[in-house]
Chains A and B, each alone.
Chain A
Amino acid sequence: MFTGKKVRLRELHKEDLEVINKLGNEEEVIINLSTRLPIPRPLQVEEKWHEEYIKEYKDDFIQFVIEKLDGTIIGKCGTGHVDWKNACVTIWIFIGNPENRGKGYGSEALSLLVNFIFEEMNMNRVQLYVFGFNERAVSSYKKVGFVVEGVNKQELFRKGKYNDVYIMSILKREHDAAKGAI
């Protein structure tokens, strides 16, 4: 369920935090992941979050470590807002370290996550936001089956100007149809 041809998704351990923190603090990751201020996050903040996550452990906030099949940690992915009533979930993903990008690791991890959300969480819709300037990510999401639903103009102030944010989604029926075609 959580293992693909190149990567696997697994649980996050306290021992992983140092590596995750380093990957997540790469400029390329910070710039592309959040609309908030792009500042590196201290390891202690990561540890505090992890303690809260363990303390309040519940099944509607899901995060996975992404590792290559040889056990090298390359990133993280998970759910943001889970709306059970409307069966819609927002997701996020990042791959750190330039040499891990453009090799299909992210796409495969994403497709494992999407699979889990449709097949186990019984959702109808998976959505994500991606910055317009992050073309590699957009093409990766398209490969997994996401479509661009709209362009939210000028929603992100970054690099001195307002940038567009795309909203992308995949529906259960599209997921099922693609699966049937394989």
Chain B
Amino acid sequence: MLFSGQLVNLRAFRDEDIKPSVDFMNDMEIILNLDDDAPMPQSYETQKEWFEEMRKNKKSYKDFFWAIETKDAKFIGGCGVNRMDGKNRLAQVGIFIGNQDYLGKGYGTDAMKVLLEFLFEEYNVNKVKLLVFDYNKRAIKSYEKCGFQTEAIYRDSVFRYGKYQDMRSMAILKEEYFNR
């Protein structure tokens, strides 16, 4: 069923997600794998603002972004499309599991599979791509399980942990998705 995987469901964000999101975004291990900006401390207010802007779609780079919850309705992260290029039918996606208890257990992989199903089977995209920090080996393995393949290594393109690090670009094409 759409939006429903083996381990997780995707659903719209709710106000009650703001509080746990503050904890997710203040967890340095989480945030340093999520964004190439320098991490800044977050408060309830900054998260609330982010939620409101996202809902109003003011954050133009977020086309849609959903909450990931377990089958017993625990909110554990988010995923969605950062940039949708309609003409070229290209979606750039992002995902995070913010609750460390749920890392490395297949929840993220399952959520990504649900997102891919939506994009290829309903949204009619030709390609889904993402960027991942090359040091984030767990994430790379998860994306490979979903069918993503590495397309490019962006050498030295992010400054983190005191040095320039590589970013990896991964993608899955429509023909690959349907021929699995």
Which A positions have Cβ atoms within 8 angstroms of B?
A: 35-37, 83, 85-88, 124-125, 127, 149-157, 162, 167, 169, 171
> In the complex, what residues of B have CB within 8 A of residue A150's CB?
150-154, 169
Contact at B87–A37, with CB atoms within 8 Å?
yes
Q: In whole angstroms, how far apart are the Cα atoms of A124 and B160 in the complex?
A: 13
Interface string of B126-152 (1 = CB under 8 A from A): 110100000000000000000000111
When distances are taken between beta carbons in the complex, the residues of chain A under 8 Å from B155 are 125, 149, 169, 171
When the two chains form their complex, are residues A149 and B126 in contact, meaning their CB atoms are under 8 A apart?
Answer: no
Residues 64-115 of B contacting A (Cβ, < 8 Å): 85, 87-90
Pick the contact of A36: B87, B89, B156 (CB < 8 A).
B87
User: Across the interface, do B156 and A153 meet the contact criterion of CB distance under 8 Å?
Assistant: no
Evaluate contact between B157 and A154: CB separation under 8 angstroms. Answer: no
CA of A75 to CA of B158 in the docked complex: distance in angstroms? 31
Given A153-B127, A167-B152, verify A124-B88 contact (CB < 8 Å).
no
Taking a contact as CB atoms under 8 Å apart, the answer to whether A124 and B164 are in contact is yes
User: Closest chain B residue to A164 by CB distance?
Assistant: B151
Decide if A88 touches B157 in the complex (CB within 8 Å).
yes
Chain B residue numbers with a CB within 8 Å of A35 are 85, 87-88
- Do residues B154 and A167 form an inter-chain contact, with CB atoms below 8 A? yes
Closest approach, in angstroms, between the C-beta of A82 and any C-beta of chain B?
13
Beta-carbon nearest neighbor of B152 in chain A: A150
Whether the pair A152, B129 counts as a contact (CB closer than 8 A) is: yes
Number of A-B contacts (CB under 8 A): 72
B interface residues (Cβ-Cβ under 8 A, vs A): 36-38, 85, 87-90, 126-127, 129, 150-159, 164, 169, 171, 173
Instruction: Say yes or no: A157-B89 contact (C-beta < 8 A), given A86-B158, A125-B156, A125-B157.
Output: yes
Q: Assuming A86-B36, A153-B171, is B154 touching A169 (CB within 8 A)? A: yes
Residues of A close to B87: CB separation below 8 A? 35-37, 157
Residue of A nearest to B169 (CB): A150
20 A-B residue contacts at CB 8 Å? A36-B87, A85-B37, A85-B159, A86-B36, A86-B158, A86-B159, A86-B164, A150-B152, A150-B169, A152-B171, A154-B127, A154-B173, A155-B88, A156-B88, A157-B87, A157-B89, A157-B126, A162-B88, A162-B127, A169-B155
Selected contact of A152 from candidates B37, B126, B156, B169, CB within 8 Å: B169
**Contacts of B173 on A, CB cut-off 8 Å?**
153-154
- Residue numbers in B under 8 Å from A171 (CB-CB): 155-156
CA–CA, A152 and B148, complex, Å: 13
Q: How far is the CB of A63 from chain B (nearest CB, A)?
A: 23
- Chain A proximity of B130: nearest CB distance (Å): 12
Q: Which of A86, A154, A171 is the most central at the interface, judged by chain B CB atoms within 10 Å of its CB?
A: A86
Report Cα–Cα, A125/B157, bound state, in Å.
Answer: 7
Shortest distance between the CB of B117 and any CB in chain A (Å): 20
**B169 contacts which chain A residues (CB < 8 A)?**
150, 152, 167
- Minimal beta-carbon separation of A169 from chain B (angstroms): 6
Instruction: For the complex formed, measure the closest distance between the CB of B35 and the CB atoms of chain A, giving whole angstroms.
Output: 11
